[in-house]
Amino acid sequence: MAALLGVETGWVWLRDAESGRFYSAAVQSLPPYLQEPVRMTGRSCWCLELFQSGQLTARNIDVVECSRLAPAVKSRQADLTHGLRCHASVPLYAGDRPLGVMNLAMRGWRRLTRQELDLLTTIADQVGVAIERARLGVQSVEHARADERARIARDVHDTLAQGFTAVALHIEAGLSHLETSDEAGVPLRRALDVARQGLDEARRSITSLRASSLDSRPLAEALSALSRQFTADTGVRVRADIADVGPLPADVESELFRIAGEALTNVRKHAGAREVSVRLDSGRGRVRLTVADAGAGFRMRGARRRGFGLVGIEDRARQSGGRATVRSAPGHGTTITVTIPLAPARPAT
């Protein structure tokens, strides 16, 4: 789009459907003034206000002065703005549903030609369709995961749990008819203990599959929402690479989500980074969460004490049976990796 209009700079705001907040979803060649994350938070600005009020529509694309650049323009800091002061604001819709705004920044003020307006309108429609399809695809996967968890929980309840209950009742009935001195009582009581242990394990599995510690959302969906919220609040863009790790125990999902939140809090407070990545993957019997930034970093050796955030991350990982590793160096950012082993699946019988 920037190339078609003969401009260098552009950025896209998308509206998070869950929170209603706007976050920076894509940028290209931002001037130094807008590269500071504080300038690109989801706070209100003129183009977003026009979009939210319904005044910015596909038939009303125009060039507006950028209120985020205005302070630097007013103080004549051309080295920070690269001479930019205005942008064409292109609303993005999926049908009648508002998605966000694409801005293409210009060095001066000029009216868009009818050909440019038609081109922007056509391409904006295609961009809106692509965004909506991507979101629906993600939602479809997450809903399928949630449905699968619910199905497995029902199957465990209707088969294993009910079976162990029936076995335990039959053994108890048999024991009630035995004499105290009957030698068959010892193995039967052992079988009863095993049946009860199996029933407890089945109940724990059901609770784990049905737990809603993440507001009834799968971990991947919760991490994506957390990333969008962080970008809206701080202006620091989050690159989320969330693999399909399948259903995890609810306590593991909960701890990983809290660890990711604490790691992002550390980025906001200490890193001074402009971008951070959140990656979730699994394999070889473990699930791994990685949060990395290219911020200030710190010296690992000789540090007098570790911050409460890092200590909390390490404690949470340990409580889940895993471990957290931290790599950092001054000027080279910080990478936090949490690895939690997963219980091997029981072979079918």
CATH code: domain of residue 7: 3.30.450.40
**Residue 28 falls within a domain, yes or no?**
yes
Collapsed DSSP state (helix, strand, coil) of residue 341: strand
Do 321 and 270 lie in a common domain?
Answer: yes
- The domain of 229 spans 219-341
Mean pLDDT over 194-203 rounds to 83
Do 224 and 205 lie in a common domain?
Answer: no
Of the candidate ranges 27-41, 62-76, 131-145, the one whose mean pLDDT is the lowest: 131-145
Q: How far is CA 292 from the centre of its chain?
A: 14
Do 171 and 238 lie in a common domain?
Answer: no
**Residue 119 falls within a domain, yes or no?**
no
Q: What is the pLDDT of residues 254-298, one digit of tens each?
A: 889 989 999 998 898 888 899 999 999 988 889 999 999 999 888
Environment class of residue 247 by beta-carbon count within 10 Å: exposed (0-12), middle (13-18) or buried (19+)?
A: middle
Do 317 and 236 lie in a common domain?
Answer: yes
Higher pLDDT, 111 or 200: 200
CB 26 within 8 A of CB 11: yes
**Residue 198 falls within a domain, yes or no?**
yes
Do 243 and 264 lie in a common domain?
Answer: yes
**Residue 118 falls within a domain, yes or no?**
no
**Residue 321 falls within a domain, yes or no?**
yes
Q: pLDDT-based confidence at 142, cuts 50/70/90?
A: low
Residue 347 pLDDT: 43
Segment of 64-73, 148-157, 242-251, 296-305 carrying the highest mean pLDDT: 64-73
Residue finishing a domain among 160, 181, 210: 210
How far apart are the C-alpha atoms of 84 and 78, rounded to whole Å?
8
**Residue 130 falls within a domain, yes or no?**
no
Do 224 and 323 lie in a common domain?
Answer: yes
Helices (H), the chain: 2-5, 32-35, 46-52, 70-74, 78-81, 114-155, 162-176, 185-210, 219-234, 250-266, 308-319
Residue finishing a domain among 89, 112, 135: 112
Going by C-beta distance under 8 Å and a sequence separation of 6 or more, which residues neighbour residue 32? 79, 80, 82
Q: pLDDT-based confidence at 203, cuts 50/70/90?
A: confident
Do 241 and 316 lie in a common domain?
Answer: yes
For residue 252, pLDDT over 70 is answered with yes
Residue 278 pLDDT: 95
Do 79 and 156 lie in a common domain?
Answer: no
Residue finishing a domain among 112, 135, 164: 112
Do 171 and 282 lie in a common domain?
Answer: no
Do 228 and 285 lie in a common domain?
Answer: yes
**Based on the structure, what is the number of domains in the chain?**
3
Do 223 and 200 lie in a common domain?
Answer: no
* Residue 98 host element (H or E): strand 97-106
Residue 219 pLDDT: 84
Segment of 38-42, 56-60, 124-128, 163-167 carrying the highest mean pLDDT: 38-42
CATH code: domain of residue 229: 3.30.565.10
Q: What is the pLDDT of residues 2-52, one digit of tens each?
A: 887 788 899 999 998 878 899 999 999 999 999 999 999 999 899 999 999
**Residue 128 falls within a domain, yes or no?**
no
Do 242 and 326 lie in a common domain?
Answer: yes
Residue 346 pLDDT: 46
Where on the phi/psi map is residue 215: left (φ > 0), alpha (ψ -120 to 50), or beta? left
Collapsed DSSP state (helix, strand, coil) of residue 270: helix
* Residue 12 host element (H or E): strand 9-15
**Residue 154 falls within a domain, yes or no?**
yes
Segment of 68-77, 100-109, 220-229, 304-313 carrying the highest mean pLDDT: 68-77
Q: How far is CA 300 from the centre of its chain?
A: 28
Residue 345 pLDDT: 47
Question: What pTM was estimated for this model as a whole?
Answer: 0.70
